Amino acid sequence: MKNFLLILILGALMGCKPKKVIDRNTKTTENLEEINPVKDRFAKMEADALKEPYIGIFSRENDSTNLFPIRSTGVSTLPILQAAQVFLNNLSSSQIKRTTFNIDDKEWRKWSNVDNGIYDRQGVSLKELNENQKKDAFQLLQQSLSAKGLQLSKDIMKTDQTLREINNGALAFDEELYFLTIMGEPSSTEPWGWQLDGHHLVINYFILGDQVVMSPVFMGGEPIITTSGKYKGNTLFQDEQNLGLALMQSLKPEYQMEATITTSKTGNNNVAEANKDNLTLQYEGIPVSKFSNEQRKKLLDLIYLYISNIREGHDQVKMEEVMEHMDHTWFSWVGETSENAIFYYRIHSPVVLIEFDHQRVASIPNADDGKPTRNHIHTVVRTPNGNDYGKDLLRQHKEKHHHKD
């Protein structure tokens, strides 16, 4: 019995979902033997990706790299700067050492949406902060995000509490195991930024003057609708799901066929998640230039669901950028289009890449039938053509001011 309990504890600590239930009589440890290979596989994926210098997501080698000029937006970032300074000033020296990185450190690219038993994160977690420090951390998020974006982030964190409850208290799931790092020194003139990294929630936030780049952003959740426990009723991504389906259904049949990559939705379809910073991604589906005015409005409303997670003012700056490239925007689809369909969609333009995906069951006990489900969703927002993490703005800033690496 002692050996059996030890196996259960080790499995919870590692946060790895076992393939097989432990047999009480034979005490099989097959699940434990799989833990390190899974973690090693994710570590190798990251290491391989980081061997390549950052280039960005492009559709062709000759795509434009002059889409993101340094300019004034007229929207102050001073509240974000002040919140970051307060946050840093109230950390201990050891916390500061773990939390601060150079502006072009590879830490920007070290993120993953998987749980904490599989991926080791840098920085300081919300869980280890005292109450005042925690308030400082959330103040930084509040000043950087819209009220909607902040609430969505908190609701995503809640799903990890739910996963802990339904997985017998597994320690890999925790609503406060979300890690903050600061890149560069918060400044009104020099580039800097912050990253929040945790299970189903990753935000990269770059600032130069009054310009902001919030990407890559990963937001997901499982369960999508919480039916029990502390956060019963917590619900995620219903608008992103339903408006996406409504847009697809609004297209005439021949345009639906053109938008559809495949009607077969048997697995996970997101292509721009972690370790995909240098992805080559062709435009697929249907060009938005074929949409009616009403369908264009539906598409803009859908895009805004994702862009509106950034702070007020900068959401409009980004939407203006998106609208400038509407005739070069593509919409693609995987799956069926019935009312309860399971699907994936992608919105791809020179200045924004958005993905929505119904994923397979990952952490809900006794629910995995191998098929994607509406109860597990991943979303990704990227800035193609070299400006994820504000990299293109950083490059231009260095060239202008003759910075040396």
Q: Please tell me the distance from the alpha carbon of residue 206 to that of residue 193, in angstroms, as a whole number.
A: 4
| CA proximity to 219, closest of 239, 243, 197 | 197
Q: Would you say residue 184 lies in a domain?
A: no
Q: Please tell me the distance from the alpha carbon of residue 78 to that of residue 143, in angstroms, as a whole number.
A: 9
- β-sheet bridge partners, residue 280: 58
CB atoms within 10 A of CB 120: 12
At 19 the pLDDT is 37
Instruction: Report the alpha-carbon angle 214-218-224, nearest 5.
Output: 135
Beta strands in 235-363 (DSSP E): 260-262, 286-287, 330-335, 343-348, 353-360
Tokens of 328: 């070069």
Give Cβ neighbours of residue 3 (< 8 Å, ≥ 6 apart): 27
Q: Is the pLDDT of residue 30 over 80?
A: no
Give the mean pLDDT of 296-322: 98
At 367 the pLDDT is 93
Phi-psi label, residue 296: left if phi above 0, alpha if psi -120 to 50, beta otherwise = alpha
Tokens of 374: 């509406």
Give the domain extent around 13: 1-51
Q: Please tell me the distance from the alpha carbon of residue 244 to that of residue 235, in angstroms, as a whole number.
A: 17
Q: Would you say residue 399 lies in a domain?
A: no
Q: Is the pLDDT of residue 62 over 70?
A: no
Q: Would you say residue 302 lies in a domain?
A: yes
Q: Would you say residue 46 lies in a domain?
A: yes
Amino acid at 128: E
Q: Would you say residue 133 lies in a domain?
A: no
Q: Please tell me the distance from the alpha carbon of residue 381 to that of residue 307, in angstroms, as a whole number.
A: 9
Q: What is the mean pLDDT of the chain?
A: 91
Per-residue pLDDT reduced to its tens digit, 224-258: 999 999 999 999 999 999 999 999 999 999 999 99
Q: Where are the alpha helices (DSSP H) in 102-146?
A: 131-144
At 38 the pLDDT is 86
Tokens of 217: 């952003």
Q: Please tell me the distance from the alpha carbon of residue 362 to that of residue 246, in angstroms, as a whole number.
A: 27
Per-residue pLDDT reduced to its tens digit, 185-198: 999 999 999 999 99
Q: Please tell me the distance from the alpha carbon of residue 40 to that of residue 44, in angstroms, as a whole number.
A: 6
CB 341 within 8 A of CB 245: yes
At 36 the pLDDT is 77
CB 139 within 8 A of CB 201: no
Q: Does the CA dihedral 154-159-160-161 come out positive or negative?
A: positive
At 338 the pLDDT is 97
Least confident of 36-50, 96-110, 283-297, 299-313: 36-50
**E strand or H helix at 353:** strand 353-360
At 64 the pLDDT is 65
At 208 the pLDDT is 98
Amino acid at 72: S
Q: Would you say residue 101 lies in a domain?
A: no
Give the mean pLDDT of 27-56: 78
Give the mean pLDDT of 48-55: 96
CB 239 within 8 A of CB 151: no
Q: Would you say residue 349 lies in a domain?
A: yes
CB atoms within 10 A of CB 68: 22
Q: Is the pLDDT of residue 112 over 80?
A: yes
Q: Would you say residue 162 lies in a domain?
A: no
Tokens of 304: 């805004």
Q: Is the pLDDT of residue 405 over 60?
A: no
Report how many domains make up the chain. 2
pLDDT band at residue 403 under the 50/70/90 scheme: low
| CA proximity to 18, closest of 6, 34, 37, 7 | 34
